[in-house]
Structure 1
Amino acid sequence: MVKLPSPEHVLRLLWCLRVTKTRIYDTNPKILEAFANSGIELIVTVPNEAVAVLTDHAQATEWIATNIGPFLPDTSITGLAVGNEVFTSDDAVLKENVLPAMSALHQALISLGLDSTVHVSTSNSLTVLADSYPPSLGSFRPELEGFIRPFLRFWSNTSGPFWINAYPYFAYKSDPERVPLDYVLFNTGPAGMVEPNTGLRYDNMLYAQVDAVVFAMARYGYGGIEVRVSETGWPSKGDDDEVGATVQNAMLYNRNLVARQMENEGTPLRPQPRLEVYMFALFNENLKPGPTSERNFVMLFLVLSVILCC
Structure 2
Amino acid sequence: MNKKNAHFFLPLVLVLLTATISGQKSVFARIPIGVNYAKHAHGGNPSPAAVISALRSMRIDRVRLLVPDLDLIQAFSYTGISLLLCLHNSYVPRFASNESEAYTWVRDHVASRYPRIRVVMLSLGSNVLTLSPDLAEFVLPAVQNVHRALRKLGLRHVSVSTTASFEALTSAFPPSGAQFHQFAAQSFFAPLLDFLSATNSSFLVDICPYDLFRTDPEIPIGFALFQEEPFSFRDDPVTGIRYRNLFDVMVDAVINGMAALGHDDIPVVVTETGWPSSGGPGEPEASLVYAEMYNRGLVRHLAESVSRTASPTRRDAVPETYIYLQDEDAKQGRGAEARWGILYPNLTKKYEFDLSRGARAADSCAVAAVTAAALLLFRRSFFFF
Provide the TM-score with structure 1 as the length reference.
Answer: 0.91
Q: How many residues align?
A: 304
Contact 2:267 2:318 in 1 (8 A): no
SS in 2 for 1:78: strand
2:60 maps to what in 1?
Answer: 19
Contact 1:235 1:294 in 2 (8 A): no
CA distance in 2, matches of 1:9, 1:42: 17
Alignment of 1:1-310 (within 5 A): 1-55=42-96, 56-92=98-134, 94-114=135-155, 116-145=156-185, 146-175=187-216, 177-189=217-229, 191-263=232-304, 264=306, 266-272=310-316, 275-279=319-323, 281-285=324-328, 290=333, 292=335, 295-299=338-342, 303-305=350-352
How far 1:273 moved relative to its partner? 5.4
- Deviation beyond 3 Å, 4+ runs, structure 1: 286-295, 300-304
Contiguous gaps of at least 5 residues in structure 2? 1-41, 355-361, 363-385
CA distance in 2, matches of 1:29, 1:133: 42
Give the 3 Å change call, closer, same or farther, for CA 277–287 of structure 1 in structure 2.
closer
Amino acid at match of 1:71: R
Amino acid at match of 1:79: M
SS in 2 for 1:51: helix
Give the 3 Å change call, closer, same or farther, for CA 81–2 of structure 1 in structure 2.
same
Contact 1:54 1:60 in 2 (8 A): yes
How far 1:31 moved relative to its partner? 2.1
CA distance in 2, matches of 1:291, 1:302: 22
SS in 2 for 1:259: helix
Amino acid at match of 2:240: G
How far 1:259 moved relative to its partner? 1.9
CA distance in 1, matches of 2:329, 2:303: 30
SS in 2 for 1:110: helix
Give the 3 Å change call, closer, same or farther, for CA 122–199 of structure 1 in structure 2.
same
Provide the TM-score with structure 2 as the length reference.
Answer: 0.74
CA distance in 2, matches of 1:126, 1:296: 20
User: For each residue in 1:68-111, what CA deviation from the matched residue of structure 2 results, as whole angstroms up to 9, or x when unmatched?
Assistant: 1122111100010101111223431x111111110000000011
Contact 1:7 1:31 in 2 (8 A): yes
User: For each residue in 1:130-181, what CA deviation from the matched residue of structure 2 results, as whole angstroms up to 9, or x when unmatched?
Assistant: 1221110110100012111110111011111111101110111122x31110
Give the 3 Å change call, closer, same or farther, for CA 290–101 of structure 1 in structure 2.
closer
- Relative contact order (C-alpha < 8 Å, sep 6+): which is higher? 2
Contact 1:52 1:101 in 2 (8 A): yes
Give the 3 Å change call, closer, same or farther, for CA 292–4 of structure 1 in structure 2.
same
State which drifts further: 187-196 or 216-225. 187-196
RMSD (Å), alpha carbons: 2.2
CA distance in 2, matches of 1:306, 1:29: 30
Q: Which has the larger radius of gyration?
A: 2
CA distance in 2, matches of 1:210, 1:287: 20
How far 1:305 moved relative to its partner? 2.8
Q: How many percent identity over aligned positions? A: 33
Contact 2:272 2:321 in 1 (8 A): yes
